[in-house]
Amino acid sequence: MKISPLQTERLKYAPKLPGMLRHGISEICVKEGEATQSVADQEKIQALFPNTYGKKEITFEKGANTSAAKKQVVGVILSGGQAPGGHNVVCGLYDALKATNSENVLYGFKNGPSGLIDDDYLIFDDEYIDQFRNTGGFDIIGSGRTKLETEEQFKVAAEVCKKHGITAIVIIGGDDSNTNAAVLAEYFAAHETGVQVIGCPKTIDGDLKNEDIECSFGFDTATKTYSELVGNIERDANSAKKYWHFIKVMGRSASHVALEAALETQPNICLISEEVAAKKMSLSQIADYIADAVEKRAARGMNFGVAIIPEGVVEFVPEFSVLIGEINELLAGAKAEEFNKLPAWKDKYAFIEKGLTKESMAVFAILPESIQQQLFLERDPHGNVQVSLIESEKLFSALVKAKLDERKKAGTYKGKFSAQHHFFGYEGRCAFPSNFDADYCYSLGYNAFMLIQYGYTGYLSKISNLSRPADEWIAGGMPITKMMNMERRHGEDKPVIRKALVELDGKPFKYFEAHRETWAVETAYTYPGAIQYYGPASVCDITTRTLALEKGE
């Protein structure tokens, strides 16, 4: 297999570890902290996790290793969407495992959690794993979205682990995957299988974080990748001076990616879904907000600009959420078949008009026809609208154009408006990890094995103090149940890890809020450029603006 010169050099990169993990396995001891409780619904969560709830947070320090010496056979799973650095979690886990005892074994279960159920695996060795160090993607073993949540699945998983003598499973994933890790750990503990379960926090969306987990891995690399692209487009816009660029970025449930890209590039407009929801903004109000910036810039002779749109923003618009709910009801059961048999869009439109309330139809009517039709594309497995398929960047540019056309007729707007559209998503999921993510992920994997060696289960690998240089990072673990609450899912109350949304009183948003009026009217673009891997730490090891602001730096 031919590899690029950059990959050749990246394979040689030695990731940095937190200071306390650099002493050597024999010189790492545990300091236990306070007992924990879940963020909400404590009685219900405790009842569901009697064997793993309320455990203590722990940190690793320099000192004599007091863990019991035994051969460890560990299985690792990559779960959910890809995120840069996943390979280094596996590499860090492998290196710690082998440094402790060369007889230890690491199984990689293929294509996500289903690999554990199907007993589909490979056994890592030096030759194989060395091909993937510091590289992007999840192709080392593949990923998948199978959920481990049924009694039957847990039983099969226990049998597979017993067959191979597996002592621990490490699940690398986001909030849902680590919720599954907590449930699996509880099952294994309740049935005295002797198998530990450790999770690692992954998601480029940035919504798996809290007071303990400062950042999920992949967020740094993905947002730097998107910010480079946004900066490139800003430079082009400022050169051509004739287009407004509407850029949709990943982030369906939270706007961390959009906010970080805005902090890095200072666009004219950036919508924050959480603010839209808090202010109960309508589609018309959002369109007016953007159109105001277009008009003010046009008055200065600048008929160009850049707007960043979070992927899931329309779900945060109250009137749009009501519309989606009514459409889901409208096409429930046999009605969907009746709708799909209608021969032309005008017939379907009449069907829709009869089925929606007056208020929702008013919202539906202002949408461009292409967006209207997108709302009736293929449904998800539960029969609901796939909101992620809606081209919200095109929706808002069309709504803005309609507003500007009205203003032009009224004589209040004399500028020009021409839009270009972009969606940055997959471009960021498998990029070469930044030095930060390469280091952070390697540390998460190395640390995960230390949690296994010391007998912990139902814990998340935790590296903190991340805004500081790596030798000042702090390694440890926290019970996954600490992050959990109860939520309504598919008609049932389920224990889940609480998603972290953008905090409107948090420092990153407050900084953005203090500057956005200036950015909206002036051309204050900044151009981050490509991720740098070699050179001064001030360039190569910088963290995100979000994390720096949260830590007051």
Closest CA to 84 of 141, 8, 137, 10: 137
- Residue type at 541 in one-letter notation: D
CA distances from 275 to 325, 439, 517 (A): 21, 33, 15
Beta-bridge partners for 305: 244
Catalytic residue among 95, 205, 207, 220: 205
**pLDDT in single tens digits along all 553 residues of the chain:** 688 999 999 999 999 999 989 888 889 999 999 999 999 999 999 999 999 999 999 999 999 999 988 999 999 999 999 999 999 999 999 999 999 999 999 999 999 999 999 999 999 999 999 999 999 999 999 999 998 889 999 999 999 999 999 999 999 999 999 999 999 999 999 999 999 999 999 999 999 998 889 999 999 999 999 999 999 999 999 999 999 999 999 988 899 999 999 999 999 999 999 999 999 999 999 999 999 999 999 999 999 999 999 998 998 999 998 998 899 888 887 788 899 899 999 999 999 999 999 999 999 999 989 899 988 877 666 666 777 778 999 999 999 999 999 999 999 999 999 999 999 999 999 999 999 999 999 999 999 999 999 999 999 999 999 999 999 999 999 999 999 999 987 678 899 999 999 999 999 999 999 999 999 999 999 999 999 999 999 999 999 999 999 998 8
The predicted pLDDT at position 382 comes to: 60
The predicted pLDDT at position 490 comes to: 66
CB-CB contact of 130 with 95 (8 Å): no
CA angle, 315 then 279 then 220, to 5°: 60
Sheet holding 244-249, edge to edge: 269-270, 305-310, 244-249, 419-424
Residues near 323 by beta carbon (within 8 Å), at least 6 away in sequence: 356, 360, 363, 364, 375
Cα separation, 544 vs 553, whole angstroms: 11
The predicted pLDDT at position 375 comes to: 87
DSSP string for residues in 279-328:
TT--HHHHHHHHHHHHHHHHHTT---EEEEEETTGGGGSHHHHHHHHHHH
Cα separation, 17 vs 442, whole angstroms: 7
Domains, the chain, with CATH or none: 68-218+433-497 (3.40.50.450), 223-311+391-425+503-544+549-553 (3.40.50.460), 314-388 (1.10.10.480)
Quote the tokens at residue 346: 């005008």
- Residue type at 149 in one-letter notation: E
Single pTM value for the model: 0.95
Active site residue 207: no
Quote the tokens at residue 106: 């690491």
**Residue 243: Cβ within 10 Å count:** 18
The predicted pLDDT at position 235 comes to: 98
Residues near 50 by beta carbon (within 8 Å), at least 6 away in sequence: 186, 190
- Residue type at 486 in one-letter notation: M
- 463's enclosing H/E stretch is strand 459-464
Quote the tokens at residue 313: 């923003």
